[in-house]
Chain A
Amino acid sequence: MKNKELKNCLDDAVSGIGENPWLLSRVLSRAESMEDTPVKKKFAFGTVQVVLTIILLMSVGIASFSGLNRTDSQTDNNPVSLSAPAISGMEAETEHARLKLESPVYDGTSIYLNWCLENKNPEVPMWCWAEKFSVNGIEFDFIDYNLEEEWLPGEYTEDGTIWHEWLTQLPEELIGAETIHVEMKINTSRPVRPWKMLDTEDAFREELESLIAEGYYVIPAYREDEETYWPEGYFEPEEDLNVCPNGWTIAVSGGPLPDDTMGDIIVETLDVSFDAVKPEPGNGLTLLQTQDAYEDEYCTAVFEKAEGTSLALYLTVRMKPKDNHDLSPRYWALEWKGLTDQKGIDASLTPSKKEYPSPDHEGETVCELCWEGITPEILPDTIYLTTRLKNYELVRFPIQVRSSGT
């Protein structure tokens, strides 16, 4: 198939997609609606994110610090408040690795974990992945969570430690639980054979086979191009690819590699667990003020949840279309005066987590939104939740974070 043919082929296959005659007016009207917010100070948007992250880490650090200070007076199975998460079995050790949970925080909806994994023999590579993570007996599916880490000599800290942070929302059935019990199993693996790093542009397969024949465990050099190793799931599995025990796929053409490509692997399991309780309003939980209902030409909206914690901001909105309007809210964002990007243009923060019906859905919708790392302390008195409806109308809901002047 020729170059031009492929283009025509693609064009024809999506020929039902045409012009939107209102696009220009929509863009200009959106641009205009953003211009009425005065710009007070210019921040690089990256800087805003870094600051938010630092604030989050500081707040979590404080929680951790107070938690660690108070563990002496806590029994292992006695849950305490958010500012002092209970600690039970927070450390685990095997022959080759040591795991320590530093600052777990639970806010009633999400959980934040920070752990340190030490490779006791930093001359040997180590991989870790979560074998099990359960909250109140409910296991998480790890496909969706990034819990894999790799420790390569010379590429990580000299003392052999890996730090890992994880912040995620709990499954729906666990949200709001007064107390949670978390159990984790972290697996580590390390090669038995001597190892070598392979990072060659040319003759990848020949080099690979030669090193394998010499009895080496060949370490992947992660590149985004050419033939190399890819994390599993990066590409859809192909018949001639080789899935390794440590979760890597060797994307090398020319048929399968020898069966003993990786040789023996030592796998060890580290078990840790802890309990934590949901914070109370005023003590780690801020209830934001909203109107009973917001109403405009197209819809009415009611906030079913508007909370800020030391981990995130949570908003749940139920929207009802009026007069058979084809309503499908999407592109939710949070805005406030003075939030700008590096060009001084008003910035809006899109939610880090959102659950709502697909854009094709019609009728009443419930949208669950979450902004991780956005805590009440860093917000001004008033913020705005904005969304665009399927008809491209912009809807903006003011939310009071705290009474002015307090």
Chain B
Amino acid sequence: MEAAVKAPDSHAESTLERLIRENQVSLKRLCYLYLHDQAMAEDAVQETFLKVYRSLKDFRGEASEKTYLTRIAINTCKDMLRSAWFRHVDRRVTPEELPSRRETDPAYREVAAAVMNLPRKLREVILLYYYRGLTMEEIAEVLEISQPAVSGRLKRAREKLKAELKGESIDEE
């Protein structure tokens, strides 16, 4: 069981510092995988931590830290995707344009691009389940949908990825 976010007023800054230190990179990568844009991902993470900082006093510790941060980050990304600018831009990515280190296996890039090019609702469950490591229950909480809906979307996402990756299947567990 993960630690819940607990931040007495006087310790808000140190709590924020810890949360940023521990989660910044993974959240930024999650936002990039979701938004397909590095600058936007950077902004989404800053916005996420700002929201977290301003609501620390009200947080009751009912959700795990990871779920709490992920929910805010995903909702921030969704707000960005609703903007007119995003709707009118082709957001598909190619493996070559991913921000990888030079030594990254090209096959990895292909898999990542396939995940990023999934329809949004399928992309988000894959990212939350496989990348963020949330349980079905936590994903249902983050996305505010039922667990069967999470399971259904994961199934469709795996099928679509398998077809996209020419037979490379993704394990359920």
Residues of B within 8 A of A40 (CB): none
Interface centre among A7, A17, A34, A354 (most CB of B within 10 A): A17
Assess A225 versus B100: contact at CB under 8 Å? Given A1-B171, A3-B173: no
Q: Flag whether A144 is at the interface (Cβ < 8 A).
A: yes
Residues of A within 8 A of B112 (CB): 9-10, 13-14
Q: Mark A380-391, 1 if CB is under 8 A from B, else 0.
A: 000000001010
Residues of A within 8 A of B101 (CB): 12, 15-16
The interface-forming segment of B1-9, B41-49, B62-70 is B41-49
Residues of B within 8 A of A359 (CB): 37, 39-40
A14 with B33: CB separation less than 8 A:
yes
Q: Mark A327-358, 1 if CB is under 8 A from B, else 0.
A: 01011000000000001010000101111101
Q: Flag whether A360 is at the interface (Cβ < 8 A).
A: yes
B25 with A10: CB separation less than 8 A:
no
Contact among A31, A226, A350, A354 with B53 in the assembled complex (CB-CB below 8 Å): A31
Assess A16 versus B99: contact at CB under 8 Å? Given A225-B146, A331-B43: yes
User: Which positions 116-173 of chain A face chain B at CB distance < 8 Å?
Assistant: 144
Assess A11 versus B29: contact at CB under 8 Å? Given A28-B13, A224-B149, A225-B146: yes
C-alpha spacing A225/B153, complex, angstroms: 7
C-alpha spacing A224/B28, complex, angstroms: 28
Q: Flag whether B170 is at the interface (Cβ < 8 A).
A: yes
A18 with B173: CB separation less than 8 A:
no
Contact among A14, A24, A234, A352 with B100 in the assembled complex (CB-CB below 8 Å): A14
Q: Flag whether A297 is at the interface (Cβ < 8 A).
A: no
Residues of B within 8 A of A358 (CB): 85, 89
User: Which positions 64-104 of chain B face chain A at CB distance < 8 Å?
Assistant: 79, 83-85, 87-89, 95, 98-101, 104
Residues of A within 8 A of B49 (CB): 23, 27
Q: Flag whether A19 is at the interface (Cβ < 8 A).
A: yes
Assess A360 versus B46: contact at CB under 8 Å? Given A14-B98, A15-B101: no
Q: Flag whether B142 is at the interface (Cβ < 8 A).
A: no
A354 with B85: CB separation less than 8 A:
yes
Residues of B within 8 A of A404 (CB): none
Residues of B within 8 A of A27 (CB): 16, 20, 46, 49-50, 53
Q: Flag whether A6 is at the interface (Cβ < 8 A).
A: yes
A17 with B111: CB separation less than 8 A:
no
C-alpha spacing A235/B41, complex, angstroms: 24
Interface centre among B45, B95, B104 (most CB of A within 10 A): B104
Assess A20 versus B145: contact at CB under 8 Å? Given A13-B108, A26-B46, A350-B79: no
Contact among A3, A10, A20, A234 with B111 in the assembled complex (CB-CB below 8 Å): A10
C-alpha spacing A3/B153, complex, angstroms: 17
C-alpha spacing A373/B37, complex, angstroms: 30
A23 with B149: CB separation less than 8 A:
no
C-alpha spacing A360/B45, complex, angstroms: 18
Contact among B29, B84, B113, B171 with A2 in the assembled complex (CB-CB below 8 Å): B171
Nearest A residue to B84 via CB reads A353
Assess A1 versus B168: contact at CB under 8 Å? Given A7-B130, A10-B131, A224-B121: yes
Assess A328 versus B39: contact at CB under 8 Å? Given A14-B29, A343-B58: yes
Q: Flag whether B135 is at the interface (Cβ < 8 A).
A: no
User: Which positions 1-55 of chain A face chain B at CB distance < 8 Å?
Assistant: 1-3, 6-20, 23-24, 26-28, 30-31, 34
Q: Flag whether A392 is at the interface (Cβ < 8 A).
A: yes
Assess A12 versus B145: contact at CB under 8 Å? Given A24-B16, A27-B50, A328-B39: no
B145 with A225: CB separation less than 8 A:
yes
Residues of A within 8 A of B99 (CB): 14-17
Using a CB–CB cutoff of 8 Å, the interface residues on chain B facing chain A are 13, 16-17, 20, 24-25, 28-29, 32-33, 37-43, 45-47, 49-50, 53-55, 58, 79, 83-85, 87-89, 95, 98-101, 104-105, 108-109, 111-113, 115, 119, 121, 127, 130-131, 133, 145-146, 148-149, 152-153, 168-171, 173
* 6 examples of A-B residue contacts, CB within 8 angstroms: A13-B109, A17-B28, A23-B20, A27-B16, A236-B119, A343-B55
Given contacts A224-B149, A225-B149, 12 further A-B contacts (CB under 8 A): A7-B133, A8-B108, A11-B29, A12-B100, A14-B112, A16-B101, A30-B50, A226-B152, A234-B119, A330-B39, A354-B83, A360-B39
